[in-house]
Amino acid sequence: MRSVCKWNPFRRLSKWVACCCIVLWGIGACNSQPTYQWHDPQTKEGLVCRQCEPGKFVEKHCTKHTPTVCKPCPGLYYTHFWNYLEKCLYCSVFCNSLEEEVQACNGTHNRACQCKPGYHSVSDFCVPHSRCPVGTGVTQPGNPLEDTKCAPCPEGTFSSSSSTNPCQPHQNCSEQGLAVNVPGDQFHDTFCTACRPNKPVGIVIRTDELSETEGCEEAVIDYIPYQIKAPRRLRRLRQRLSKSLLPTASHRKSVNQLQVELHSYLIQEKNTKGARDVAKKLMGALRDMKLQHILEKMQKHFLGL
């Protein structure tokens, strides 16, 4: 009887070789050039031709005996992918005056543009970034694709103008050796003062004398705008001081905006005419408008009367 050997020493080796072949075939397939179907007009044969790599185009299709002939794209033309185009694509994108080039035209890429700093894209148009309204600050700056994102200023911070900046922290008066004149809120900073009227016991200082007390003129200018809570009175006071009508748009503004604008106007006047002159005119205007309660409030605030 012939003996039969049931154990084959090459069985495991053959399986290992087969696995390696499959892996190597897969790698080769992944690394191989893409192909395309081509019908040779002369021989009427159907052929499988190799595609051209990005940056090139088909100068000659393959034949039964020759491979595809690829040629680099000329200037201002490109192909971005493996292809079998007979002509490269024209770089057809051009940047306008509000855009900047971020990708130059080359053999493999079309020109690419994005909005310049300060602008973002909306329906393929570049529009300016929004400015955050008074009382709000930037939480995320605008970029070429998105507008500025705003949020109300948290406690302890403020934004007194429409801007593209984050909210700023209130100043600390005590750290400067000063007293709080006007507490800060989300619309304006804390205003500090060194105003210390020299008031002997039993002697009353009049309101008009307060504006002449050293160091108090600026405190009066900072204080008064934020004590008037009616939009109509704020507009009237501004018109009386500037002797000109306000734009119609001012009627749509909030009390906080009008207060900030009045204060900004007074600061501008102070810088050109001096604090004493502006403080006198301001209190004169309050008397003319019969806003005696504001004057009394100011006396109580500064003099404790």
Euclidean distance between CA atoms 35 and 38, whole angstroms: 9
Instruction: Give the mean pLDDT of 104-117.
Output: 98
pLDDT higher than threshold 90 for residue 270: yes
**With 60 as the cut, is the pLDDT of residue 4 above it?**
no
The domain containing residue 226 runs over which residues?
Answer: 170-303
Find out whether 84 and 49 touch, Cβ atoms under 8 Å. Answer: yes
146 within some domain = no
> Which pLDDT value is given to residue 216?
83
Structural domain includes residue 64: no
For 51, residues 6+ apart whose C-beta sits below 8 A from its C-beta are: 33, 34, 35, 36, 68, 82, 83, 84
Q: 């119609």: which residue's tokens?
A: 248
What are the residues whose beta carbons fall under 8 Å from the beta carbon of 289, sequence distance 6 or more?
233, 236, 237, 240
* Res 261 pLDDT > 70: yes
pLDDT digits (tens, 9 = 90+) for 140-183: 999 999 999 999 999 999 998 888 899 999 999 999 999 999 99
Residue 150 domain-assigned (yes or no): no
Give tens-digit pLDDT for 37-54.
Answer: 999 998 999 999 999 999
Report pTM. 0.64
Residue 133 DSSP class: P
Dihedral angle of Cα 110, 114, 116, 120, to the nearest 10 degrees? 160
Per-residue pLDDT tens digits for 216-244: 889 999 999 999 999 999 999 999 998 88
Which residue(s) pair with 137 in the sheet?
Answer: 151
User: Is 112 part of any domain?
Assistant: no
Q: What is the pLDDT of residue 214?
A: 54
Token output for 25: 């075939």
Q: Other CB atoms closer than 10 Å to residue 217's CB: what's the count? A: 22
Kindly list the distances between the CA atom of residue 114 and the CA atoms of 84, 125, 126, 144, in Å, as whole numbers in the listed order: 30, 10, 9, 6
pLDDT band with cut points at 50, 70 and 90 for residue 215: low
DSSP state of 18: H
| pLDDT at residue 302 tops 80 | no
Is residue 219 domain-resident? yes
Whether residue 113 lies inside any domain: the answer is: no
Residue 117, in any domain of the structure: no
Contact residues for 243 (Cβ-Cβ < 8 A; gap 6+): none
Percent of the chain with pLDDT over 90: 67
Residue 6 has pLDDT above 50, yes or no: no
Is residue 184 included in any domain, yes or no? yes
When divided into structural domains, the chain yields a total of 1
